[in-house]
Amino acid sequence: MSDSYMVEPDVGFIKDVMKLGGQDLKKCYQCATCSVACPISPDNKPFPRKEMIATSWGLKDRLVGNADIWLCHNCGDCTTRCPRGAKPGDVLAAVRAYAVTEYAVPKALGKMVNDPSKLPILLAIPAIIILVVGMLTNLVGLGWLSFAPTGEEIWQNNYINNYLVDIIMIPTFTFAIVVFALGLKRFVADIHANALAEGKTDKQKIEPVAFLQALVRVVPTIAKHNRFSECGENKERATAHMMVLYGFIGLFIVTACFFVAEWVFHIEGPYSQINPIKWLGNIGGIALIIGGGLMIAKRMGQKEQTSSYKDWYLLGLVMLLGGTGLLTEMLRLGHQYGLMALVYFLHLIFVWSLFAYTPFSKLAHLVYRTVAMTYQEYSGRK
C-alpha cells in the first residue's frame, strides 16, 4: 500500500486566500472544466483543478511551493467557463499573492503591502526617508535638499539632488534584490520538491547551467508574450501587459544610462529634448500610462473577474509612476517649478515604493513566474 498523505487543513490559509481575491474558491465542485479550458495548462497533471481542491482543503504546503500556480497567466478562460462561479483564475491569483508573502522576508512587510489600511504608512516611509536624509545632507553641508532654489534653468535636481535620490534608491534596489534572492532560494527548492512529489518531473537535481540555459530559452517566450496569446478570453490584455512591461524596461534602461552619465561621466541634466535617451524615457512613460490605463479600463468593465486590492495597488502604482514622471517633465518645461518639485517628490515616493515593495506585491510575479516558467522548461513538463 502506498504512503498516505496526512491532511491537516489550514482554515486560516483558506480564509486568507478568500480575502486576497479568492472568495469563491469553495464553490468548486471539481468538475475539472477549468483544467480542460486552460490553453496553457500541461497535459500531465494539469492545473487548476488540483489547485482548487487543495485550496478548498486548506493544503497550504501543496500550493505555496507549487510552480503551477505561476504557470497560470490569469487569462480567465477557466473563470469564464466555470459552471459554479468559483473563478479558478482569481483563486490562483490569490494563492500567488499568498505565496509571494510567504517567500518575501520580512513577512510583516508582506502583510502590510497586502493590507489597504497600511498603505498610508507604506507611502510615508519613503517620504520621511527622502526628507530626513535630505536634511542630514543639508546639515553636513552637502545641501542636497532645497525648498526654494534659484537660477536660470531650474530642474528637479535643484530641489532634490540626484545624488540624494541615488544614495537612497541604490540601497533600496539592493534590498529588493536580496529579498528576491532569499525568497528564490527557497522557492526553487520548494517547486522542485513539489514537482518530484507530484510526479511532474523526472529530473532529480537542478543543474545550474542547464537551468540558466532554460532561462535563455524562456526569455523569447516572455518577450513575445506567447503564453498570453494562447488565451481565449482577455487576449487583448497581452498588448496592455506588453506596453507596461516594455515601458518599465525602457525606463529602466533610461535610468541606468542617466545613472552612468551622472556617476561616471559627471554629465549633469537636464538633457536636451532631442536626446534619444530622453525619447526612450518619454515613450516608456507613455507606454506605461496607456498600458496601465487599458488594464484599468478592462478590469472596470470585467464582471467575471474579481479585482482585489493587490490588483488595484499594482495598477495604481503603474499609473502614478508614469503620471508623476511625465507631469514632472511637463511642469518643468512649462516653468511651473514649485508644482514640479511637489510632483517630483511624489514620483520619488512611488519609485521607492516600486523598488522596496516589489518583492511583496503582485509585481513579484516578474521574478517568480519567470523562474517557474524556466523550471517548467528545464524539467521538461509538458
Grid cell listed for 218: 524562456
Is 245:314 a contact under the CB 8 Å cutoff?
no
The residue type found at 117 is S
Residue 15 lies near other proteins (rule: CB under 8 A): yes
- Could you say which of 19, 27, 186, 225 contacts other proteins (CB under 8 A)? 27
Closer Cβ to other proteins, 4 or 150, answer by number: 4
Give the residue, chosen from 21, 30, 111, 177, that forms a contact with other proteins under the rule CB under 8 A: 30
Contact 47, 40 (CB under 8 A): no
Spatial distance between the Cα atoms of 75 and 232, rounded to a whole number of angstroms: 8
CB of 382 to other proteins, least distance (A): 18
Sorted by sequence, the CB contacts under 8 Å of residue 51 that are 6+ apart come out as 63, 66, 68, 69, 88, 91, 92, 95
CA gap 338, 108 in Å, rounded: 37
CB 9, min distance to other proteins, A: 6
Rank residues 15 and 235 by Cβ distance to other proteins and give the closer one: 15
Q: Which is nearer to other proteins, 5 or 252 (CB)?
A: 5
Among 9, 106, 232, 338, binds other proteins (CB under 8 A): 9
Q: Which is nearer to other proteins, 5 or 263 (CB)?
A: 5
- C-alpha dihedral over 97, 289, 40, 232, to 10 degrees? 120
Cβ 350 vs Cβ 317: under 8 Å: yes
Should residue 274 be labelled a site residue for other proteins when binding is judged by CB under 8 A? no
By CB under 8 A, tell whether 7 contacts other proteins. yes
- Return the SS3 of 145: strand
Chain centroid to CA 175: 15
Residue 381: all three cell numbers together: 513538463
Residue closer to other proteins, measured from CB, 43 or 153 = 43
Minimum distance from CB of 158 to other proteins (Å)?
Answer: 56
Contact predicate 52/28, CB 8 Å: yes
DSSP string, 265-313: S---SPPPTT-HHHHHHHHHHHHHHHHHHHHHHHHHH-SSS---HHHHH
Q: In the bound complex, what is the minimum distance in angstroms from residue 101's beta carbon to other proteins?
A: 19
Q: Which of 78, 69, 119 is nearest to 99 (CA)?
A: 69
| Contact mark string toward other proteins, 191..220, x via CB under 8 A | -------x----------------------
Q: Which stretch binds other proteins (CB under 8 A): 24-32, 131-139, 352-360, 366-374?
A: 24-32
* Residue whose CB is less far from other proteins, 33 or 213: 33
Report in angstroms how near the CB of residue 20 gets to other proteins at its nearest.
Answer: 14
* β-bridge mates for residue 160, sequence order: 145
Closer by beta carbon to other proteins, 38 or else 356: 38
Task: Restricting to residues 70-99, name those near other proteins by CB under 8 A.
Answer: 84
Quickly list H helices, 303-364.
309-333, 337-357
- Tell the residue number behind the cell numbers 541615488, with chain if given: 166
19 binds other proteins (CB under 8 A): no
CB of 11 to other proteins, least distance (A): 5
Q: Which of 20, 59, 168, 340 binds other proteins (CB under 8 A)?
A: 59
Give dist(CA 198, CA 63) in Å, integer: 12
Q: Which of 22, 48, 58, 76 binds other proteins (CB under 8 A)?
A: 58
Residues binding other proteins (CB under 8 A): 1-9, 11, 14-15, 18, 26-27, 29-30, 50, 53-54, 56-59, 84, 198
